[in-house]
Amino acid sequence: MPAGDPPLTLRDLDAIDVTRLRNVGRKRASSLTEMEINSVLDLLQHYPRRYIDRTKQARIAELAQGEDVFVEGRVERSSSRPTRRRQRLVEVVIADETGRLKLTFFNQPWQENSLQPGRQVAVHGRPALYRGSLQMTNPVVDLVGDRTGRFFPVYPQSERASVSTWEIAKFVEQALNRCQPRGIADPVPASVLERFDFAGRHTALNGIHRPATMRESSEARRRLMFDELLRVQLELVRRKRWLERHTAGLSHATGGELVERFLRRLPFGLTVAQQRVIDEITADLAQPYPMHRLMQGDVGAGKTVVALCALLTAVQGGFQGALMAPTEVLAEQHFDTMVALLDDLSVPDGSRLGGERPLKVELLTGSRGAADRRRASGGLATGDVDIVVGTHALISEGLQYKALGVVVIDEQHRFGVEQRAVLRDRGPGSVLPDLLVMTATPIPRTAAMTVYGDLDVSTLDELPAGRLPVATSWARGPLEEAQVWAAVRDAVGEGRQAYVVCPVIEESEALDVRSVTETHESLTGEGGELAGLRVGLLHGRVTAAEKDATMELFRSGALDVLVSTTVIEVGVDVPNATVMVVIDAGRFGIAQLHQLRGRVGRSRLASSCYLVGEAVTADAEARLEAVVASNDGFELAEADLELRGEGTIMGERQKGRNDLRLASLRRDKEWVVTARDVAIEMLDADPDLHAHRALADEIELLLGEQDAEFLLKS
């Protein structure tokens, strides 16, 4: 690459195939492709997962039992044999100038091929005494080849692709050397680099791949992590601003009589959090561009009342409101709740004799009778229906709204992006209705900023007065489990009801149904713990009609106990149910356990949740202990992020190559906020990034138009 040419941009690096590097022929290129490394950019963004510091290396003769150590040696011999459990046991001996060390690997048959005699390896583990000599069991092993120097990176490697960390290091070093004459362009404003004392990008890429010290690698990581977060936040904020500038919305008349009438009639006062979120939504609805807001609130935080205020704001201005739920059961439940809360509410209407008219609310689902569906759809077309509650039927072909003004979507993650977009596009003329998304799955603030960064986020972080926390305990063995069933019988004896939930086994739907059926049979059969009680059964294989019938029996009190899979996880509301039993609770995630627990404690009655079963892994134990320790959904969401990492959260929107490779929503919380602040500053001064073309090009390259559209629509 001749000197004198402009610095290489990320797009330039993306255009250079890895086959341009020495020793990368077709076979090696194919192996790298398996690791999603096709270009020099991919290679330079394949960051080290850790570093080996040879100054902290132990010699084999100095090893002590039970201490975590790093040791380097050459493989002398490698062999394998079957164990009594028909697994492969690989035994390897490595040596340095002071002695020999035996390594054993259980159920890792590939290690025999990987650790061939003569190979130089770095081993991390804890030596233990076995038959009079020290050995390591299942240590972490890196092939280091002929690496020299005291300090070098360890890369994610692929056994299947047969690419070792030292080979990747050689390719990276070669790529960096060939970039040296031109340098690598840095599109982040100098003022930002100076403010946060960031290294330049070329320096940072060298520092992360071949640092001289740990400090140099951490400074490089800090800079490159900020770049990732800044690109995401610039894209989210820019698209949100574009929507506000270029999309026609409805400027609703706020502060009208209808919302005030509704609030005055409530049999309870609003929480401070509810009033704050209502004010935020009201301010949005007054704007001439469409609202695009996520309302997150824990189970029981009062999201429905807030959503009704938004829908009634539309109605009082002459528009219609729609609430879309993921299932018919939830749609019917929302409808029943709304009808009870809106009981005989009148809409001020100067065109009518008497100055007002009755508010009209309809339910529209696939299982409603043809006459009911015709009445609801006809009323939507003429404007006679003010608020409609329904499922996907609300976006069915041919359904017309006279003037859809506000759309509320419950449990956002249950809908496809395109379905949400279709409903939003049902506004009057070319004007988009306002969109409010509700979720009862609390999301940590930094995650919400990144995953839902193009939505304004409102948080209901306060439960209504008098709502009791659900007492949660973990029953680990048979004696404790017997006490759980006694508690269920006691609750039923007091006129209360209970849920028993079994895990869904995704690998086999048949197993899933059979497991919940067997639980039902064992509980209700002769001598069963719940024999003699009225126990219903619910799972994903029953028809919608059967499911609705069973839920209605439980709601009405005709069933004492409902044995179910997680079909009751979200939104089912039976205030008389005060006991939740979760079987094999260790198989569930924190968010799912918290959702299940939220099915009880929905009144002022004391409620209990019992997590039943042993934890089969350390992670499962940590999850169960977290749920026992806290009823706070936001606290649990942070714990979940700590345990699982952000992969599951980012998986909602991120596709392949644009994943956050260095930035962590857990570890880098303050940098997520900082990156958003910097993005807002830059876009305030330059809304279309005209003065930052190189940065805009990077966003297009690494986020891509399709993924950016996903962000906007979600």
Torsion angle in degrees (nearest 10) through CA of 3, 9, 13, 15 = -110
Distance CA 672, CA 684 (A): 18
Backbone conformation region of residue 708, classed left if phi is above 0, alpha if psi is from -120 to 50, else beta: alpha
pLDDT at 423: 59
Interval 641-648 mean pLDDT: 63
Q: What is the pLDDT of residue 473?
A: 96
Amino acid identity, position 299: V
The yes-or-no verdict on residue 152 having pLDDT over 50 is: yes
Query: Are 600 and 519 in contact, with CB atoms under 8 Å apart?
Result: no
pLDDT confidence of residue 433? 86
pLDDT at 203 over 90: yes
Average pLDDT in the 508-518 region? Answer: 59
- Residue 696's pLDDT is 93
Which amino acid, one-letter code, is at 438?
M
Mean pLDDT of 497-504: 88
| Mean pLDDT for the stretch of residues 437-462 | 77
- The pLDDT value recorded for residue 351 is 72
- Given pLDDT bands bounded at 50, 70 and 90, which one contains residue 237? confident
The answer to whether 547 and 567 have CB atoms below 8 angstroms apart is yes
pLDDT digits (tens, 9 = 90+) for 406-416: 999 887 544 54
Does residue 161 have a pLDDT over 80?
Answer: no
pLDDT of the residue at 158: 67
Q: What is the pLDDT of residue 3?
A: 53
20-29, 157-166, 617-626: least confident range: 157-166
Q: Per-residue confidence at 712, pLDDT binned at 50, 70, 90? A: very low
User: What angle, 0 to 180 degrees and rounded to 10, lies between the N-to-C axes of helices 705-713 and 214-246?
Assistant: 60
Secondary structure (H, E, C), 59-104: CHHHCCCCCCEEEEEEEEEEEEEECCCCCEEEEEEEEECCEEEEEE
Interval 71-92 mean pLDDT: 88
In this predicted structure, what is the pLDDT of residue 646? 59
CA 123, 220, 168: angle at the middle one, nearest 5? 45
Q: State residue 711's pLDDT score.
A: 43
Q: Please give the C-alpha separations between residue 21 and each of 16, 174, 179, 295, in angstroms, as whole numbers.
A: 9, 7, 12, 50
User: Does the pLDDT value for residue 513 go beyond 60?
Assistant: no
Looking at residue 51, its pLDDT comes to 87
Lowest-confidence range among 46-55, 144-153, 508-517, 629-638?
A: 508-517
Angle between helices 201-209 and 214-246 (to 10 degrees): 130
Average pLDDT (439-458) is 74
The type of residue at 458 is S
Provide the pLDDT for residue 668. Answer: 85
Averaged confidence pLDDT in the chain: 85
User: In this model, does residue 300 exceed pLDDT 90?
Assistant: no
What pLDDT score does 159 carry?
63
* pLDDT for residue 659 is more than 60: no
**Strand (E) positions, 107-208?**
120-125, 128-130, 133-137, 140-143, 151-154
State the virtual CA torsion across 220, 225, 230, 232 in degrees, nearest 10. Answer: 150
130 pairs with which residues across the strands?
Answer: 133
Higher pLDDT, 408 or 639: 408
Three-state SS sequence of 215-273: HHHHHHHHHHHHHHHHHHHHHHHHHHHHHHHHCCECCCCCCCHHHHHHHHHCCCCCCHH
Most confidently predicted of 230-244, 257-271, 306-320, 541-555? 306-320
Helix 633-644 and helix 618-629, axial crossing angle in degrees, nearest 10: 170
Q: Give the pLDDT mean for 72-77.
A: 93
Cα first-last separation, the chain: 42
Q: Select from 311, 310, 298 the least CA-distant residue to 271.
A: 298
| Cα 252 to Cα 288: distance, rounded to the nearest angstrom | 8
The band of 505, judged by pLDDT with boundaries at 50, 70 and 90, is very low
The amino acid sitting at 411 is: E
Alpha carbons 42 and 168: distance in angstroms, whole number: 12
pLDDT of amino acid 150: 74
The amino acid occupying position 427 is G
Indicate whether 314 pLDDT > 80. yes
pLDDT confidence bin for 421, thresholds 50/70/90? low
What pLDDT is recorded for position 422? 66
> What sign results for the dihedral spanned by CA atoms 376, 267, 294, 506?
negative
- What separation in angstroms does the CA of 7 have from each of 183, 397, 694? 5, 53, 12
Residue 512 has pLDDT above 60, yes or no: no
Mean pLDDT of 244-266: 85
pTM for the complete prediction? 0.70
Cβ atoms of 121 and 144 within 8 Å: the answer is yes
How far is 150 from 517, CA to CA, in rounded Å?
Answer: 61
> Is pLDDT at 120 greater than 60 in this prediction?
yes
pLDDT at 6 over 60: yes
Residue 571 pLDDT more than 80? Answer: no
Q: How far is CA 340 from CA 158, 262, 312, in A?
A: 59, 12, 15
Alpha-carbon dihedral 675, 199, 220, 639, rounded to 10 degrees:
-20
Instruction: Average the pLDDT over 612-616 and give the result.
Output: 84
Residue 420 pLDDT exceeds 90:
no
pLDDT(714) > 50: no
Give percent of the chain above pLDDT 90: 41
Compute the average pLDDT of residues 510-528.
76
- What pLDDT, on a 0 to 100 scale, did the predictor assign at position 653? 47
Please say whether the beta carbons of 599 and 468 come within 8 A.
no
> 182 or 445, which is more confident?
182
